[in-house]
Amino acid sequence: MNTLTKSEAPISSTQQPRPVLEVVEVTIRYGEKPAINKVSLSIPQHRITAIIGPSGCGKSTLLRAFNRMNDFIPNVKMEGQILYMGSDIYVREVDPVEVRRRIGMVFQKPNPFPKSIFQNVAWGPSINGFTRNLEARVEQSLRRAALWEEVNDRLHESALALSGGQQQRLCIARALAMEPDVILMDEPCSALDPVSTARIEDLMFELKERYTIVIVTHNMQQAARVSNLTAFLENGSLVEFGETDQVFTRPRNKRTEEYVTGRFG
Amino acid sequence: MKSDRLRRRHATAKIFRLLCAAVAWAGVVILAVLLFHVTREGIRWLDFQFLTEFPSRFPEQAGIKSALWGTVWLITLTAAISIPVGVAAAIYLEEFSPKNRLSQLIEVNIGNLAGVPSIVYGILGLVLFVRFLALGRSVLAGSLTMTLLILPVIIIAAREALRAVPDSIRQAAFALGATRWQAVRAQVLPVALPGILTGVILALSRAIGETAPLVMIGALTYVAFVPEGPMDAFTALPIQIFNWASRPQEDFHQLAAAGIIVLLVTLLLMNATAVWIRQRAERTGR
């Protein structure tokens, strides 16, 4: 497992982008039982990194550790370090609120606030003190989330009137409005139909120009389609981490091969 | 054979449905009989003068002005004290406090307090507010006693309403860099508001009909003035009704019935307001 990052082939011809998030020997426990066991990996900038693995393998737990969303779950204990731009986000001086401003998140089920479309996008910036040019910021975010054309004539109508796929793109726009560096996506398409899923996948391609994306998915085709790098987790341990092409076509580990070819999971 | 059994199943379902309907209607019928009885007795006395006159020894001249205004004062003050305290307590318990043994203990205790007989709150109010804090037999002392009485109900109802807010809304707010208070104030509370309001109005409806604690803290039974401030003595509708009903003359019994009508109409107006506020909140929430 130590050989994983070392033997990675370079991504395209350019040099390896610098890591935005580094996970160092992280163990996360719910009570006694470890959900994540000594995982180390680094997430490069402006790439899409997919975390795959069978249900209950700890994918979401790991993802939620990146923006300290596990803080809200009682009895969660973490060992090891998670570095964001080189600094540990779990030391006492770091305010988790600050972390979440820079590392946005999109959830499994679309969860817009029961308010207007505009308010959904504008709320994040406004509570964080970005109140100037709010309209422009909302428009820009909705454009980047490929939703503007569909909703620009009804910005002040309820977000709950949108379709599931539109709601999820609204949630992406809401995260983008904070101008984060990283966007974490926790199975963002699992509640959507194939057409909406394709739209979100297209969107992810565009977004990686500006943002670093980490996506948890149980859908292996999705990981193969959208991601540059893939991490395969099983029972809380990192089995394999490398370029997506390599992980899917020439997996080094037997378990990875069995999983990506659909023999279990 | 088979259709026989099917028929029996349908028969059972029908019997059960009729039984449920009978039980449901029983309550309505009893209420209707009561209302009819009260209305027949009291309607004769119910006129504008009844609302604008003070109580009197002479039934023809008696009115409920002081009791009506006393109740308005009492409920307004009670609402002003109990709603902020109760909702804030519920927000703390549900959104901020760690879930441990202590919070469980507090939860069980609040549940118990909701079941304590109102006379006990009356005794507490007498000792604590009337005597120890020397508020006297004032509207304020009465409101504080009523606040004690309905706080558990408000807290429990508000907690239920907060708990019913999907956690995904909190998560979404936190993920945008909201503090706990920002998430609660801007996102959780508006969703919970209709439920909280329902609980508050139900609690206040209980307070408006309570007699025992007021008798205990010594609210007056014969008052020929309208309270002008929170420190004034007062009487309230249920006390006035109780007073009239306990007199021997038939005329006063009818006056009591008229008072009951006024109390019921007030209650109805309060509940209607609650429904209206709730529907409006739900509409703007969508």
Nearest by Cα to A244 from A258, A223, A264: A223
Amino acid found at B34: L
What's CA A208's distance to the chain center, in Å?
A: 11
3-class secondary-structure state, position B225: coil
Closest residue in B to A184 (Cα) is: B175
Q: Which residue has the tokens 């959780």?
A: B188
Q: Is pLDDT of B48 > 90?
A: no
* pLDDT tens for each residue of B187-227: 999 999 888 988 898 899 889 888 888 888 877 777 777 88
Would the CB atoms of B175 and A128 count as touching at under 8 Å? no
Asked if B247 reaches chain A (Cβ–Cβ under 8 Å), the answer is: no
What's CA B149's distance to the chain center, in Å?
A: 10
Closest residue in B to A183 (Cα) is: B175
pLDDT of amino acid A15: 52
A48-52 vs A212-216, strand pairing mode: parallel
Measured in angstroms, the CA of A237 and the nearest CA of chain B are apart by: 26
Q: What is the mean pLDDT of chain B?
A: 88
Of B99, B172, B182, the CB nearest to A127: B182
CA gyration radius, chain B: 23
Give chain A's domains with CATH numbers.
45-58+96-260 (3.40.50.300)
Tokens encoding B285: 């929430």
Alpha-carbon gap, residue A39 to A233, rounded angstroms: 9
Of B98, B169, B177, the CB nearest to A113: B169
**Phi, psi (5° rounding) for residue A242?**
-175, -170
* pLDDT tens for each residue of A153-178: 999 999 999 999 999 999 999 999 99
- CB under 8 A, 24+ apart: contacts of A126-131: A127/B176, A127/B177, A127/B178, A127/B182, A127/B186, A128/A101, A128/A178, A128/B176, A128/B177
Contact B205, B37 (CB under 8 A): no
Q: How many residues are listed for chain B in this entry?
A: 286
Alpha-carbon gap, residue B265 to A262, rounded angstroms: 69
Which of B101, B176, B181 to mutate against chain A (most A CBs within 10 Å)?
B176
Would the CB atoms of A74 and B98 count as touching at under 8 Å? yes
More confident residue, B123 or B2: B123
Hey, how many other C-beta atoms are within 10 angstroms of the C-beta on A73?
11
Q: Average of pLDDT values for B61-80?
A: 88
Which of A123, A160, A183 to mutate against chain B (most B CBs within 10 Å)?
A123
Sheet with strand A19-30: strands edge to edge: A33-44, A19-30, A76-84, A87-88
ipTM confidence: 0.88
| Residue stretches of chain A with pLDDT short of 70 | 1-16, 265
Tokens encoding A115: 């308010």
Nearest by Cα to B244 from B255, B235, B234: B255
Alpha-carbon gap, residue B96 to B78, rounded angstroms: 26
Tokens encoding B127: 């000792």
Which DSSP string corresponds to chain A? -THHHHTPPPSSSSPPPPEEEEEEEEEEEETTEEEEEEEEEEEETT-EEEEE-STTSSHHHHHHHTTTGGGGSTTEEEEEEEEETTEETTSTTS-HHHHHHHEEEE-SS----SSBHHHHHHHHHHHTT--TTHHHHHHHHHHHTT-HHHHTT-TTSBGGGS-HHHHHHHHHHHHHTT--SEEEEESTTTTS-HHHHHHHHHHHHHHTTTSEEEEE-S-HHHHHHH-SEEEEEETTEEEEEEEHHHHHHS-SSHHHHHHHTTS--
Alpha-carbon gap, residue B13 to B78, rounded angstroms: 47
Asked if B179 reaches chain A (Cβ–Cβ under 8 Å), the answer is: yes
Residue B41, C-beta contacts closer than 8 angstroms, at least 6 positions apart? B253, B254, B257, B258
pLDDT of amino acid B154: 95
DSSP B205: H
A148, A152, A174, B141, B148 from A140: Cα distances, Å? 8, 11, 11, 57, 52
* pLDDT tens for each residue of A30-53: 988 889 999 999 999 999 999 999
pLDDT of amino acid A13: 40
Which of A98, A113, A141, A154 to mutate against chain B (most B CBs within 10 Å)?
A113
pLDDT band, very low/low/confident/very high, at B55 (cuts 50, 70, 90): confident
Judging contacts by C-beta atoms under 8 Å, the chain B residues touching residue A115 are 285
Would the CB atoms of A100 and B174 count as touching at under 8 Å? yes
**Which of A38-42, B52-56, B115-119, B133-137 bottoms out in mean pLDDT, i.e. has the lowest?**
B52-56
* pLDDT tens for each residue of B82-127: 999 999 999 999 999 888 888 889 989 999 998 899 999 999 999 9
Judging contacts by C-beta atoms under 8 Å, the chain B residues touching residue A109 are 168
Contact B221, B240 (CB under 8 A): yes
